[in-house]
Amino acid sequence: MPARRLPRALAAACLALTGLPAAAGEGRILRTEVLVSAPVSEVWKAFTTVDGATRWMVAFARIDFRLGGTYETSYSRDAKPGDPNNIRLHILGYEPERMLAFNFTAPPNVPRLKIAEKTWTVVRFEPVTSGKTRVTETMVGWGEGPEWDHAYQHFEKGNAWTLEKLVALFERREDAARRDEAMRLLRGLAGSEWRASFEGPSGRMEGRVVFEELFGGKFVLARGFLGAAERLEPHAHMIVGRHPLTDALHVWNWDPAGAVTSGAARLEGSDRLVVDWDTVTAGGKRAEYRVEYHLLDADTYRTRIFQNVPGGEPKLMIELLYRRSKTQESGDR
């Protein structure tokens, strides 16, 4: 096999390993996933270059990025190459901008984590859009017992914390003024009731949304109602505000069927709020949507919901025109 093909072949082998039935006592899988506001090429560099890794992952890094190469890292800015307490990751395989697999050698100053050297990690990079990348870190090979439990709990918290730092790295690049402008646009919808009328499967339907400012305008709550005009029932409820870990604009949404949605939001142009919805149904199924709220004038906005199609163009699912109502009624109908 030509040497230039070896990394891709081993990468495929590492991916295959994660799909094999677990050996006895190694059934646990630790999976952490984030959506990063950056193209996959930039996220890959953040993982695989010294300049990238030291911006978010560690304070010190020396990377020999090749098959069989090593990451030598430390959280201490005073660390030097060869320091005994440096962390060492060993590259098992990779596919550029798609997958990175490694295991690690624990430093002697954390002996309780040495047992986890028997695990290995696969990081997948999935382009969601041209400017969004899903990063999924899967750690496998876990055993059973108190020592394993301690190590699992350590990495469960640590991996989540680390990937949130990756999210924050790219979210900080967004213009804070744009986020403020997006919140200003949403606050402009508050204090009024908004109505839309459309043809449903069983006749004419009406949607109603009431926007409210929360905690001095730090968050905006949108309470949705849906049904026949004479009987509206509570529908999806949404909260928009800055995420405390990333400082990015974020949306949380709940609906009566038990689905929960979370996603980053951004302002496109001066009057269009776009949200990347990641929805998980009550049954555990996932779906991704692009949702647009376009303010057409002071009294009208349009909502459009697109379902993301892998490898294809987003599919328009819903388009509604909401108008500001002259009378705001109680939301407890």
Domain residue spans of the chain: 3-18+25-171, 178-324
- pLDDT one-digit tens code per residue, 228-261: 877 889 999 999 998 887 778 899 999 999 999 9
User: What share of the chain in percent tops pLDDT 90?
Assistant: 70
pLDDT at 300: 95
Which residues, 6 or more positions from 125, have their beta carbon under 8 angstroms from its beta carbon? 40, 43, 44, 97, 98, 99, 100, 133, 134, 135
Residues 203-221: what's their mean pLDDT? 92
Q: Contact, 293 vs 285, CB < 8 A?
A: no
Average pLDDT, the chain: 87
Give the E-state strand segments of the chain in sequence order.
Answer: 30-36, 60-63, 70-74, 87-95, 99-105, 120-129, 132-140, 193-200, 203-214, 219-228, 231-242, 249-254, 260-268, 272-280, 286-297, 300-307, 315-324
The residue type of 165 is: K
* Residue recorded with tokens 């409210």: 212
Residue 174 has pLDDT above 70, yes or no: no
- pLDDT one-digit tens code per residue, 109-119: 999 999 999 99
Residue 13 has pLDDT above 80, yes or no: no
Fold of the domain spanning 178-324: Lipocalin (2.40.128)
Which residues, 6 or more positions from 290, have their beta carbon under 8 angstroms from its beta carbon? 274, 275, 276, 277, 305, 306, 308, 314
Do 3-18+25-171 and 178-324 come out as alike in CATH topology? no
- pLDDT one-digit tens code per residue, 273-325: 999 989 999 999 999 999 999 999 999 999 999 998 888 888 999 999 999 98
pLDDT at 294: 95
Q: Which CATH superfamily is domain 3-18+25-171 in?
A: START domain (3.30.530.20)
Residue 326 has pLDDT above 90, yes or no: no
pTM of the complete model:
0.50
The residue type of 231 is: R
Instruction: For Cα atoms 159, 114, 161, give the angle at the middle one, nearest 5 degrees.
Output: 10
Residue 270 has pLDDT above 50, yes or no: yes
pLDDT at 14: 41
